[in-house]
Amino acid sequence: MYRKVEYNIVCNCCGKSFVAHDKRKIYCSHKCRDVAYKRSKGQDSRLKPRKEKCIICGKEFETFNAAQKTCSPECSKENKRRRDNRRHHHTAEEYKQILKKQVQQRAEVKIIEKRWYEAIHSIERECKVCGSLFYCVDTESRVTCSHECSISYAKSKKKYYKEKRLNQDNLIDKDISLETLFERDKGICYLCGELCDWSDHEWKNGNHYTGNNYPSIEHVVPLALGGKHQWENVRLAHFKCNVAKGVTTSTYTKEMAIEDARRYAREINTNKKKTAQYTIDGNLIKIWASTAQIKRELGLNDKHIQNVCRKAKTGNAYGFHWEYVV
């Protein structure tokens, strides 16, 4: 039969000896265990209280806890606040001001470093929009002198690609702008011989509206007829004269009247296509000179009619049958 081993142990609290089956026990009872725990926390009622001096208000107080340094909760909060201030050395407002000064100093250092780098590596260049000279760091990507010129250059480049002016077969002069052309032609319209007016325009709701006398870039040989966007093929013209000339060659001169020029442009315009209008049953209603005439007189969308005639050769739209007349 198994027999348990007995151990003689001395209690760490009261000093009495007792018998136990577990040699790891150090207290003879639960009371001794609780007394030892209170002693470790300085709360044993059998111990004599210690006299301490409050580090905040200076009053003397009695306590069983050797770690207590204050006499009341109010003094404890004040001690914590002072300890936090000693840790940070500054109040919240002073700390914000210090951070603000540090940010300003870093920004000034960056500006000085940038100026120093530009002074060593900068080169002189000519703006591709306004033609003025400016200094920049040696990089091939920057070709304009200011933010406004950059926006103008980006818009013109986007326009060239959108209108297919720039391709492998049609190299253009990228430095063409309305300002430089105005200076070259001295502000004179080559079609009517009168001066152009820069102030003949206005802005409404963020949109730019030009008047009849506002200058514009006019191509002697239109782009639609194979003309090049080059200095040899561009002239300065009034907005109204440019519209009147249309997609024609330079046969329009200042001796011709505006209405005659418009009539002449409509007659020789190669983009016009006669369009026949039929009923759904196939009965001919009318042959129109162009889809633009259909839009003016009937109020229908000319682009939709063009798509119907172009893609499907013949098709239906707006309750009618449309097709190009060859």
Choosing from 224, 241, 268, the residue where a domain stops is 268
Measured CA angle at 323 (ends 319, 324), to 5 deg: 150
pLDDT for the residue numbered 183: 85
- Whether residue 95 lies inside any domain: the answer is no
pLDDT for the residue numbered 257: 44
Q: What is the mean pLDDT of each run of 10 residues along the chain (326 residues)?
A: 76 86 87 80 60 88 78 88 69 80 89 78 78 74 83 76 55 73 85 84 78 86 74 84 73 46 49 81 86 83 82 72 82
Residues 244, 287 within the same domain: no
Choosing from 229, 247, 268, the residue where a domain stops is 268
Three-class DSSP category at 246: coil
Q: Show the domain range for 311.
A: 275-324
CATH code (residue 248): 1.10.30
Count structural domains, the chain.
Answer: 3
The two counts, helices (H) then strands (E), for the chain are 9, 14
Residues 235, 299 within the same domain: no
Q: Nearest CA to 131 among 72, 94, 174?
A: 174
Where do runs of H (alpha helix) occur along the chain?
Answer: 30-41, 73-88, 92-121, 147-162, 178-184, 239-245, 258-268, 291-298, 302-311
Does residue 9 contact residue 26 with C-beta atoms inside 8 Å? yes
pLDDT for the residue numbered 1: 46
Alpha carbons 30 and 46: distance in angstroms, whole number? 16
- Whether residue 96 lies inside any domain: the answer is no
pLDDT for the residue numbered 162: 57
Does residue 187 contact residue 237 with C-beta atoms inside 8 Å? no
Residues 251, 292 within the same domain: no
Does residue 14 contact residue 33 with C-beta atoms inside 8 Å? no
- Whether residue 259 lies inside any domain: the answer is yes
pLDDT for the residue numbered 268: 47
Other Cβ atoms less than 10 A from the Cβ of 246: the count is 17
pLDDT for the residue numbered 185: 85
Alpha carbons 155 and 177: distance in angstroms, whole number? 11
Does residue 290 contact residue 325 with C-beta atoms inside 8 Å? no
Q: Which amino acid is at 133?
A: L
pLDDT for the residue numbered 160: 62
Alpha carbons 254 and 236: distance in angstroms, whole number? 13
pLDDT for the residue numbered 313: 52
pLDDT for the residue numbered 63: 78
pLDDT for the residue numbered 261: 45
pLDDT for the residue numbered 256: 45
pLDDT for the residue numbered 138: 60
Q: Nearest CA to 236 among 165, 183, 163?
A: 183
- Whether residue 233 lies inside any domain: the answer is yes
Residues 279, 262 within the same domain: no
